[in-house]
């Protein structure tokens, strides 16, 4: 695993300055920087979860978390888009016909795929393929992607069948809805399709809750366990950046009415210590739970409800820890944190936006607790 991490760091190195230099403008425009996203695609960093047989890297999820964390230390929104686009590429390789997947990445290995795995559309069968209608929210990276993948319920299916459709990205189908204070540069707008025809080649129709096609450890996990982990990398990276920025601030700031640097104040020392402990503890438990279910996936074993609950709890708890860590630093920074030049408050907003995702939302802590008490989760996504 260490070798894989080193390779990703080396791949990322040529674009680190570009990401950093374009971050402010990306946030202002509320969309990813196209050159950054294209560069990441050209470096092969948008097919990290795709199986090797399709031309991907088939990366261990721990390495994706570490990579996403490193990106978030540079720019949270770029990390989020890179993470979600890798997840959408994984959706394509999970459910579309294998021959389509082989051709897709063989023809364009740098392709960037955005989309949504939430079944917000309706798919109607016709003699020419599938007619797709729906509105998908929070389509991160939709403005800079080459293709989109969307999940829809097959019309009239009982039991429910799902249709994963890949379409050409078209700005005419984007509604400008992403007006936020956190993760502004992700461009997570709504996408609306109205009776769009998609051929069978670019659709994968499967039973609801069915396992993906590739028989690999990662793809043996249910979707509710494949998607929470990467979000923890973004949150941890934001907190790590906040720790670094705060440490730098303590070396230069002399608080009002004080003759000593901020670094000499007890609350500064306590805050950075708490921040480090919170982030480290959260990530350690995430990796521990990830190893548990990865071992089960390698063996082909089912994941028990109790283990499932602990996994989801670890991910949500880790994100909450990251938020708490940054909050400690914001409080200790005093009035400086309120200024745009500080960046600490923006990092806190970004981390809170991560927690807005339903896979790692704070309410998942309560849901996990219900399962641990042998009660019904009360959440269909669990």
- The yes-or-no verdict on residue 337 having pLDDT over 90 is no
- Asked if residue 381 belongs to a domain, the reply is no
Are 228 and 355 contained in the same domain?
yes
User: Tens digit of pLDDT for each residue in 344-359?
Assistant: 999 999 999 999 999 9
Q: Would the pTM count as exceeding 0.85?
A: yes
- The yes-or-no verdict on residue 382 having pLDDT over 90 is no
Are 240 and 351 contained in the same domain?
yes
pLDDT confidence of residue 89: 98
pLDDT confidence of residue 339: 86
- The yes-or-no verdict on residue 1 having pLDDT over 60 is no
Give percent above pLDDT 70 in the chain: 98
What does the pLDDT average to over 212-240?
94
Are 235 and 168 contained in the same domain?
no
What does the pLDDT average to over 141-153?
98
C-alpha distances out from residue 16 to 46, 70, 221, 366, Å: 16, 10, 32, 38
What does the pLDDT average to over 141-156?
98
Are 152 and 278 contained in the same domain?
no
Are 36 and 152 contained in the same domain?
no
CATH number assigned to the domain comprising residue 27: 1.10.540.10
CATH number assigned to the domain comprising residue 156: 2.40.110.10
Alpha carbon distance, N-terminus to C-terminus of the chain:
29
- Asked if residue 377 belongs to a domain, the reply is no
What does the pLDDT average to over 176-181?
97
- The yes-or-no verdict on residue 6 having pLDDT over 60 is no
- Asked if residue 214 belongs to a domain, the reply is no
Q: Given phi > 0 = left and psi -120 to 50 = alpha, else beta, which region is 288?
A: alpha
pLDDT confidence of residue 3: 37
Are 145 and 240 contained in the same domain?
no
- For residue 209, how many C-alpha atoms fall within 13 Å in the half-sphere facing its CB? 5
Are 35 and 163 contained in the same domain?
no
Strands 147-154 and 189-198: unpaired
pLDDT confidence of residue 29: 97
pLDDT confidence of residue 340: 84
- In the listed set 90, 107, 124, which residue is the last one of a domain according to the structure? 107
Are 263 and 329 contained in the same domain?
yes
- In the listed set 61, 89, 107, which residue is the last one of a domain according to the structure? 107
Domain count, the chain: 3
Higher pLDDT, 260 or 343: 343
Are 155 and 198 contained in the same domain?
yes
Virtual torsion, Cα 95, 97, 103, 108, nearest 10 deg: -20
- Asked if residue 213 belongs to a domain, the reply is no
pLDDT band at 335 (very low <50, low <70, confident <90, very high): confident
- The yes-or-no verdict on residue 378 having pLDDT over 80 is yes
Are 315 and 232 contained in the same domain?
yes
What does the pLDDT average to over 306-326?
97
- The yes-or-no verdict on residue 119 having pLDDT over 90 is yes
Strands 189-198 and 113-126: unpaired
Q: In which domain, by residue range, is 317 found?
A: 221-372
pLDDT confidence of residue 256: 72
- In the listed set 107, 128, 159, which residue is the last one of a domain according to the structure? 107
Strands 147-154 and 113-126: parallel
pLDDT band at 338 (very low <50, low <70, confident <90, very high): confident
Are 60 and 93 contained in the same domain?
yes
pLDDT band at 5 (very low <50, low <70, confident <90, very high): very low
- Asked if residue 378 belongs to a domain, the reply is no
- Asked if residue 215 belongs to a domain, the reply is no
- Asked if residue 216 belongs to a domain, the reply is no
Are 203 and 123 contained in the same domain?
yes
CATH number assigned to the domain comprising residue 253: 1.20.140.10
Nearest residue to 56 via CA among 205, 219, 168: 219
pLDDT confidence of residue 21: 97
């Amino acid at each position: 695993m260490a070798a894989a991490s080193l390779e990703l760091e080396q791949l990322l190195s040529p674009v680190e300055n570009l990401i950093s230099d374009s971050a402010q403008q990306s946030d202002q425009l509320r969309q990813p920087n196209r050159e950054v996203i294209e560069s990441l695609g050209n470096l092969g960093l948008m097919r990290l979860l795709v199986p090797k047989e399709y031309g991907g890297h088939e990366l261990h999820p721990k390495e994706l978390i570490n990579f996403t964390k490193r990106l978030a230390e540079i720019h949270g929104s770029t990390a989020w888009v890179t993470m979600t686009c890798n997840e959408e590429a994984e959706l394509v390789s999970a459910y579309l016909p294998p021959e389509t997947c082989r051709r897709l990445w063989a023809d364009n290995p740098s392709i960037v795929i955005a989309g949504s795995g939430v079944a917000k559309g309706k798919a109607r069968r016709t003699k020419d393929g599938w007619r797709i209608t729906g509105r998908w929210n929070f389509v991160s990276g939709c403005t800079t992607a080459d293709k989109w993948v969307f999940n829809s319920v097959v019309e009239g299916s009982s039991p429910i069948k799902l249709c994963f459709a890949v379409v050409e990205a078209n700005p005419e189908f984007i509604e400008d809805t992403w007006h936020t204070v956190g993760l502004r540069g992700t461009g997570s707008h709504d996408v609306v399709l109205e009776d769009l025809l998609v051929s069978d080649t670019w659709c994968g129709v499967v039973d609801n809750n069915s396992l993906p096609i590739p028989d690999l450890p990662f793809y043996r996990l249910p979707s509710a366990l494949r998607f929470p982990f990467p979000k923890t990398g973004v949150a941890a990276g934001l907190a790590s950046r906040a720790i670094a920025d705060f440490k730098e601030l303590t070396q230069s700031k002399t608080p009002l009415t004080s003759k000593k640097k901020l670094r000499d104040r007890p609350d500064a020392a306590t805050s950075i210590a708490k921040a480090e402990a919170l982030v480290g503890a959260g990530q350690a438990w995430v990796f521990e739970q990830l190893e548990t279910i990865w071992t089960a996936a390698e063996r082909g074993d089912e994941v028990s409800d109790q283990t499932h609950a602990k996994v989801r709890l670890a991910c949500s708890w880790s994100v909450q820890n990251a938020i708490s860590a940054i909050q400690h630093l914001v409080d200790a920074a005093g009035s400086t944190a309120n200024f745009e030049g500080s960046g600490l408050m923006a990092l806190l907003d970004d981390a809170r936006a991560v927690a807005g995702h339903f896979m790692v939302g704070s309410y998942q802590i309560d849901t996990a607790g219900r399962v641990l008490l042998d009660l019904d989760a009360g959440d269909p996504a669990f």
